[in-house]
Structure 1
Amino acid sequence: MTAPVFNPLLAPSPLPYGLPDYAAIEPGHYLPAFERAFAEHRAEIDAITANPDAPTFENTLEPLERSGALLDAVSRAFYTVNSAHATAEIQEIDEQLAPLMSAHSDAIELDAALYARIGSVRDRLDELDLTAEQRRLVERRHTEMTRAGAALDDTAKERLTELNARLSTLTTRFEKNLLADTNDLAVVFDSAEELEGLAPGELSAAAEAARERGLDGRYAVTLTLFTGHPHLSSLVRRDARERILAASRARASRGNANDSSEVVREIVRLRAERAALLGYPSHAAYVTSDETAGSPEAVRALLRRLAGPAARNAQREKAALQRIVDETEPEPFPLAAHDWAFYTEKVRQAEYDIDTAALRPWFEAERVLRDGVFHAAQELYGLDFRERADLPSYHPDVRAFEVLDSDGTPLGLYLLDLYTRDTKRGGAWMNSLVAQSALRGTKPVVVNNLNVVKPAAGEPTLLTLDNVTTLFHEFGHALHGLFARVTYPHFAGTAVHRDFVEFPSQVNEMWILWPEVLANYAVHHETGEPLPADVVERLRASETFNQGFETSEYLAAAWLDQAWHALSPSEAAAVTDVAAFEAAALADIGLDEPTVPTRYSSTYFQHIFAGGYSAGYYSYIWAEVLDADTVEWFRENGGLSRAGGDRFRARLLGVGGAKDPLEAYRDFRGRDAEIAPLLKRRGLDA
């Protein structure tokens, strides 16, 4: 008799904090582990619903929170790899898994007996002696099952299950198409002269990217997730800039096998139908009804309030750029989208004497991480970070750090996956490999992913100011995941409303230019000289510079998301041309300036068509209202101090989803957030 093959995903991890043992996990282990996990979770739910005793918190909600632990562990292990190291084998598993995950989720969320038991407990809440977290768990579980469709009749549930299964397949296809087309559209140059303006490290990275594609002696510029590209600000040759931007904007819309135009249309149609089935006029209404915004009307009102001033600022910026072109170019030309970043840098240098590309020697990645990001966390919260080179991960580039609290107590693990690669999706993100829960006895393991271009061996990784901002931002999410101390896994870490989740991460960006932090990490990697004080002052003075462009491109994407998801089923069915719909939506809000393209166009808008931000991309600006107001609080209350950090941690980061987020904000701030600091920050207060 053949002995069963050992599957490391089905046994407790031997590694600290339950970190998945990726050294032992092979792709072939995932699907069998999911099959076992689905069955185990189903049996746990059946045991709850078969209980003949009257429903109580102890015999319904608590076992529900204990259930699915294996599925949770297997899912987190797989989906971390699926986003960060999606080999062809992993992508194939993902395609097989998508409908299975959807079906299993629906089977639990639509379980009538489970819903009835939770409803019974909810109806008697005031009679029960529950903690605040327990009460919130009952309310949230009931609300989420209601929103999932648990109250529908069997016919409606059947159609809902079909819609969810198809949508899971479509979103998986969208992500696969985008990754493939992004790799296919890497822009190849024959000589270094064509890339005049790039720093030596950037040029070596392009040479290495070409070599990996079998193009020795040439240069490949890989694309970022968003429309623009960091190289556009420094490439001298206009044709090189034009090629890169054109490739970026063409992704998944070229009529080839990776074209996602029809995928987008079908996703929108099915989401609209699902919303109607659940009793909502649109997918946007469905999503926002359970966010802090409350309604799509509130979202659109904010976006319209900001769009007009942003567009006017962008026009003023465009005029200044055109003057530079007219005054400096031997043969002036009308400014185009691929010119904006390049001439913006010229204006920045003329008005503020700042060359952002020239700042990179002061932003060496290791120093930014240890003496910037970690240092700010040490000063604010008393944390200590110890690298664990002994811990394996899913890719050699991933680094692990054990995080200790101010009293030396182990807090969790922080993993950093810094570099871009063809198997990693674009953008930057945080996710949890293990979620904290007192009930389950687990401590958090969080991962930050970025897409920094890796230099050739032996050369330092020099970050742009945008890279530095992204690292601080994503680490803000990591802190949220590390700090939340809850009993129930449903509320762990960043499990909060979507339009609140970006708030802690945006707050963490404030420390980038904070004097004590900046002085600690912004040191020239060769000479050891600090970033000159006059440069620092000019950086601070230029914080509202180019905000017309940056705010407009973001608002355009947020509005596009709302436009797609505000459609009724009949309106969605009537859309036949993705590009035409996009153009009409941007014209409606006055953000159709050709030189300021939307940050994401539909066919590569991963956040909303393959991520968790459908009808929720507005969340960044919504959360920035809270963020800007919080920065004011820190300025008024001692800045980088343990007292301020401990208050922010205890009253906001530490509560996870166990408290209403706006209540938590009022507890921290003493009042509701005010919009004035945001308007000032973005130059929209004039």
Structure 2
Amino acid sequence: MTENPFFKPSTLAYELPPFAEIREEHYLPAFERGMAEQLAEIGEITANPEPPTFENTLIALERSGALLRRVRVVFENQSSADTTPGVDGVDAEISPRLAAHRDAIHLDAALFARIEELYERRAELGLDQESLRLLERRHTAFVRAGARLDADRQHRLRGLNAELATASAVFRQNVAADSKARALVVDSAEELAGLSPDEVAAAAENGRALGHDGKYVLSLKNFSNQSELASLTDRSVRERLLAASLGRAVATNGPLAIRMSALRAERARLLGYDTHAAYVVADETAGSVDAVDALLARLVPPAVANARREAAELAKLAAADGIEEIAAHDWAYYSEQVRQSSYQVDAGALRPYFELERVLRDGVFFAANLAYGVTFTERTDLVAYHPDVRVFEVFEEDGGSLGLFLGDFHARASKRGGAWMDELVTQSGLLGQRPVVYNNLNVARPAPGEPVLLSWDEVRTLFHEFGHALHGLFSDVRYPYFAGTDVPRDFVEFPSQVNEMWMVRPEVLANYARHHVTGEPLPTELVERMAAAEGFGQGFRTVEYLAAALLDWAWHSVPEGQEVADAEEFEAAALAKAGLAVAAIPPRYRTAYFSHIFSGGYSAGYYAYIWSEVLDAETVDWFERNGRSVRESGEVFRRELLSRGDSRDALDSFRAVVGRDPQPGPLLARRGLA
């Protein structure tokens, strides 16, 4: 296939993939040639008769696999953001083959021998800091991938990795299919009483798009408690919506989660660790199982106590409606009633102030300019991977070009739930590449001609994901291995959480939060009341999160050989043991649709959000109290942390900004857990 667009580098700006030329039939041949080319490149490294040097081994390894990376990043994006049955089929076929390909590299004895020889002589090589770190991190990666195992154990390891890769793809596809199948369909607008007019119109438009003309469809977000639960006045509709959410993929993914947990436990033991959790955390900033256990255990009791206090407030309002006991489908609804009665905050009344285009340009982009000096220009001449997707060129304060940002904000049937950031081109000084990054959200599409209005949480998500985008855009490293967001899993959420602070900074909020019809600014007192109301909900949010984090931790603390008979029973027992069996607060993700940990790279790592929030809370405090201007503080944060990727120890980058080791005090205060 000589016309395959992946076979040569893109000639578009910043090497943006030529999406207008890419078709499904291009993927498999490009994967196959890309894997073959990289293995041939590895063969040239190992066949080199010269003694190993940093240049002929590590640099050559960094340069290898260009074609494979070009096709992989585009395919992974489409399989998440705009999948088809054909793409799903390629995903199922290629996932185990890619796992085998990675093993072929990491378990190549000749290649590892060259790296190990360099590692043993590293003090004599005269390497600069980033090059020395590349050698050390590559060596660690090979060891953790099984390079020191004997032939029999390596054979078993290959089998485990292949089966896990297949299972991960199946898990992901099961969640997507069942989330789509379980979308709540109602016959009349009356059943959606409590939702705002634009939300009802969006549900009607969603119904039309999904083939339910004349009906209203609430598609499921990837988390448990659907956002509409806060507004729907019909209790039976709330119950149906939450039941649809909590029941996703139980029959298919429950057994699959058991199998994946067992495979990961066996692999961990093979590699010399007691559990998969121990294996994962050994290479994160937390460093040990005990450190994670200590943080989570410290948070659970005060979080549950907060939630119980909140439940008592909710019960007073529910009793007036004849409800004797708050159920899970009631919690968000009566929380909203408390916000309205006690704090005079109506979440629905905020939406007219958060029009997507204004939030993006006058909020997200404005804050990035305020802190970092960058500007954004839309490039309508560049074609993205879907008509919904917008392309922006990013410029430095002095006018120099930085990279491209792609925004894909709307939900559609072909897109998985949730929100995420990734890269299409990774920054690298060695390869002369500048970053191309994208954000995906799942904002409901309004009726034709109507504005796109966001909820408070959707505004937060937009700022959060853009924090990841800035991490990728500001990357300034030599080696692609270290670029952008390729940092420890329990550090990667930190910059994105920091970026959430701009959402409520007075100078930013005043710039974007304006009524989409009248242009009136969001009243200051409403913002203050919203902040107070958010404090009320911290018990629920913390328990919901901790339940998911400890559920992940439980699945991946199962040692090899311990059998799990039933996924739902295991889940219930794990939550009870952790002190989080709060019936009215289901985990943010239940096992069967916990894609973060069974198909998304967060296995034994969902604790990362709260671990990163310790750093985030400290950094927000630093921004406010360090005595510098916003622009000066932003420059320090960019230079010392956002630009560094993993080219130096992540906590060293944190210390270079804040000036000391992280402390949990600001986080505990923020969460009401002090």
TM class by shorter-chain length?
Answer: over 0.9
CA distance in 1, matches of 2:534, 2:375: 31
- Aligned twin of 1:432: 423
- Aligned twin of 2:162: 165
1:602 to 543, 566, 591: 591
- Aligned twin of 1:268: 261
2:554 to 545, 548, 563: 563
Classify the secondary structure of the residue corresponding to 2:406: strand
Residue 468 of structure 1 pairs with residue 459 of structure 2: yes
* Corresponding pairs, count: 674
Structure 2 contact 203–216 (Cα < 8 Å) conserved: yes
CA shift, 1:638, in A, is 4.8
- Aligned twin of 2:342: 351
- Aligned twin of 2:403: 412
Residue 151 of structure 1 pairs with residue 151 of structure 2: no
CA shift, 1:213, in A, is 2.8
| Runs of 4+ with deviation above 6 angstroms | none
Q: Which structure 2 residues correspond to residues 542-581 of structure 1 after superposition, within 5 A?
A: 542-571=533-562, 574-581=563-570
CA distance in 1, matches of 2:3, 2:490: 42
Q: Which structure 2 residues correspond to residues 308-323 of structure 1 after superposition, within 5 A?
A: 308-323=301-316
CA distance in 2, matches of 1:271, 1:90: 27
Query: Which shifted more, 305-314 or 540-549?
Result: 540-549
Deviations 1:362-393 (A, max 9, x none): 00000000000000000111001000111111
Structure 2 contact 636–657 (Cα < 8 Å) conserved: yes
- Aligned twin of 2:504: 513
CA distance in 2, matches of 1:674, 1:5: 57
CA shift, 1:343, in A, is 0.5
- Aligned twin of 1:224: 221
Residue 293 of structure 1 pairs with residue 286 of structure 2: yes
Structure 1 contact 437–486 (Cα < 8 Å) conserved: yes
Deviations 1:307-356 (A, max 9, x none): 01000100000010001111x31x33311000111110111112211111
Residue 622 of structure 1 pairs with residue 611 of structure 2: yes
CA distance in 1, matches of 2:628, 2:355: 25
CA distance in 1, matches of 2:520, 2:589: 39
Structure 2 contact 353–516 (Cα < 8 Å) conserved: yes
Rate the CA distance shift 1:548–1:470 in 2: closer, same or farther, 3 A: same
- Aligned twin of 1:67: 64
CA distance in 1, matches of 2:67, 2:477: 20
Deviations 1:221-243 (A, max 9, x none): 10000001110001010011000
Classify the secondary structure of the residue corresponding to 1:542: helix
Q: Which structure 2 residues correspond to residues 357-506 of structure 1 after superposition, within 5 A?
A: 357-506=348-497
Structure 1 contact 37–71 (Cα < 8 Å) conserved: yes
Letter of the aligned partner of 1:621 in structure 2?
A: I
Classify the secondary structure of the residue corresponding to 1:12: coil
CA shift, 1:612, in A, is 0.6
CA distance in 2, matches of 1:36, 1:575: 41
Classify the secondary structure of the residue corresponding to 2:19: coil
- Aligned twin of 1:138: 135
CA distance in 2, matches of 1:562, 1:569: 15
- Aligned twin of 1:643: 632
- Aligned twin of 1:246: 243
Percentage of matched positions with identical amino acids: 57
Structure 1 contact 513–540 (Cα < 8 Å) conserved: no
1:184 to 181, 184, 192: 181
CA distance in 1, matches of 2:40, 2:434: 26
Rate the CA distance shift 1:265–1:147 in 2: closer, same or farther, 3 A: same
1:196 to 170, 183, 193: 193
1:39 to 36, 39, 43: 36
CA distance in 2, matches of 1:383, 1:208: 36
Structure 1 contact 379–640 (Cα < 8 Å) conserved: no
Deviations 1:473-510 (A, max 9, x none): 00000000000100000001101000000000000001
1:210 to 207, 210, 228: 207
TM-score after normalising by structure 2: 0.99
Structure 1 contact 314–552 (Cα < 8 Å) conserved: yes
Classify the secondary structure of the residue corresponding to 1:260: helix
CA shift, 1:542, in A, is 3.0
Letter of the aligned partner of 2:634 in structure 1?
A: G
CA distance in 2, matches of 1:639, 1:684: 29
Letter of the aligned partner of 1:586 in structure 2?
A: L
CA distance in 2, matches of 1:213, 1:156: 49
Letter of the aligned partner of 1:39 in structure 2?
A: A
Letter of the aligned partner of 2:601 in structure 1?
A: G
CA distance in 1, matches of 2:36, 2:514: 55
Structure 2 contact 206–445 (Cα < 8 Å) conserved: no
- Aligned twin of 1:87: 84
Structure 1 contact 300–559 (Cα < 8 Å) conserved: no
TM-score after normalising by structure 1: 0.97
Letter of the aligned partner of 1:577 in structure 2?
A: D
Gaps of 5+ in 2: none
Structure 1 contact 309–684 (Cα < 8 Å) conserved: yes
Letter of the aligned partner of 1:212 in structure 2?
A: A
Letter of the aligned partner of 2:645 in structure 1?
A: G
2:109 to 93, 100, 112: 112
- Aligned twin of 1:76: 73
Structure 2 contact 210–413 (Cα < 8 Å) conserved: no
Classify the secondary structure of the residue corresponding to 1:476: helix
- Aligned twin of 1:302: 295
Structure 2 contact 172–595 (Cα < 8 Å) conserved: yes
Deviations 1:184-222 (A, max 9, x none): 001110110000011112111111221223221111110
Query: Which shifted more, 215-224 or 646-655?
Result: 215-224
1:671 to 655, 660, 671: 660
Structure 2 contact 515–522 (Cα < 8 Å) conserved: yes
Structure 2 contact 255–566 (Cα < 8 Å) conserved: no
Letter of the aligned partner of 1:338 in structure 2?
A: H
- Aligned twin of 2:646: 657
- Aligned twin of 1:28: 25
Structure 1 contact 171–610 (Cα < 8 Å) conserved: yes
CA distance in 1, matches of 2:596, 2:528: 35
CA shift, 1:77, in A, is 1.1
CA shift, 1:171, in A, is 0.4
CA distance in 2, matches of 1:669, 1:5: 53
CA shift, 1:639, in A, is 7.3
Residue 529 of structure 1 pairs with residue 520 of structure 2: yes
CA distance in 2, matches of 1:291, 1:90: 33
Letter of the aligned partner of 1:497 in structure 2?
A: P
Rate the CA distance shift 1:357–1:639 in 2: closer, same or farther, 3 A: farther
